[in-house]
Amino acid sequence: MSTIPVTSLAERLAARFGDTLQVSSARRETTVELAAADLPSVALALRDEQGFQFSQLIDLCGIDYLGYGIDEWDTETVTATGFSRGVEGQAMGRFSWAERPRDANEPRRFAVVIHLLSVELNQRLRLRVFCADDTLPMLPSVTGVWPVANWFEREAFDLFGILFDGHPDLRRILTDYGFVGHPFRKDFPLIGNVEVRYDAEQKRVIYQPVTIEPRVLVPRVIRDDADLLQADAEAADHWRQN
């Protein structure tokens, strides 16, 4: 009796799509990167073809890679007063994409990540698609493949300014209709651009530029999680022993 060899999801993706996808696997998760122009056809194949059957879109979100891989906190040493507070002065919001430090790890600024689930085959997949234009980021909408993407795409548009070509009703969903800017972009100030106060002389509420000095409060560093490293080591030992 012949047996059908068991192949991983990454191997099936590489065999089906070839150079169209860049497939990678890390920490038992499969991620593919593809061009924006290939997204509609690949999405349809991932949903309908027998080897994949990703009928559910779990999440879709935007990413801004401004300053990715760059931190301004010294997290290796500590003093009696605690860790440093923005010692490098290179936090997001302090430089533009054109003026970013040149050792940044990503050549393109905006991307969209899509998480898919196949209930039938009990498998998950992550898609990452970069926007070709940093000044006007745009991707094809996947609402025609997974209608649930409607609100997710509106959220990415609202918070990151990423446009989705073919979306049936691309409007803001979280911020006010008159809101200016996109608050999840890394160059958007955490304190905002406008503050409101009551003017006693004019006897009315007025809007003015913020008077608060920007501060760095949240450390942004990229480092390996010790728990994940330990889990990977234990999993490798388990498979070797069995």
List 140's β-bridge partners, or say none: 165
Give this prediction's pTM: 0.76
Fold of the CATH domain 9-241: Beta Polymerase; domain 2 (3.30.460)
Residue with tokens 């990977």: 232
The predicted pLDDT at position 4 comes to 44
* 93-120 pLDDT, tens digit each: 556 667 676 656 678 899 999 999 999 9
The predicted pLDDT at position 242 comes to 63
List 29's β-bridge partners, or say none: 26
Is there a contact between 138 and 163 (Cβ–Cβ < 8 Å)? yes
Of the two residues 234 and 183, the one the predictor is more confident about is 183
Beta-carbon contacts of residue 50 (< 8 Å; ≥ 6 apart): none
* 173-210 pLDDT, tens digit each: 998 877 888 999 988 877 777 888 899 999 999 888 88
CA distance linking residue 148 with residue 146, whole number of Å? 5
> What are the structure tokens assigned to 50, written together?
């027998």
CA distance linking residue 209 with residue 190, whole number of Å? 13
The predicted pLDDT at position 163 comes to 97
**Of 36, 43, 46, 88, residue with least CA distance to 67:** 88
How many CB atoms within 10 Å of residue 16?
15
CA distance linking residue 217 with residue 234, whole number of Å? 36
How many Cα neighbours within 13 Å face the side chain of 136?
1
Query: Position 205: which residue type?
Result: V
How far lies 156's CA from each of 114, 200, 211, in Å?
11, 40, 29
Query: pLDDT > 70: what percent of the chain?
Result: 74
Q: Is the pLDDT confidence value at 230 over 80?
A: no
The predicted pLDDT at position 94 comes to 59
The predicted pLDDT at position 178 comes to 79
The predicted pLDDT at position 114 comes to 97
Domain boundaries, the chain: 9-241
State the average pLDDT for the chain.
82
Average pLDDT for residues 32-61, to the nearest whole number? 95
* 206-225 pLDDT, tens digit each: 888 888 776 655 555 555 56
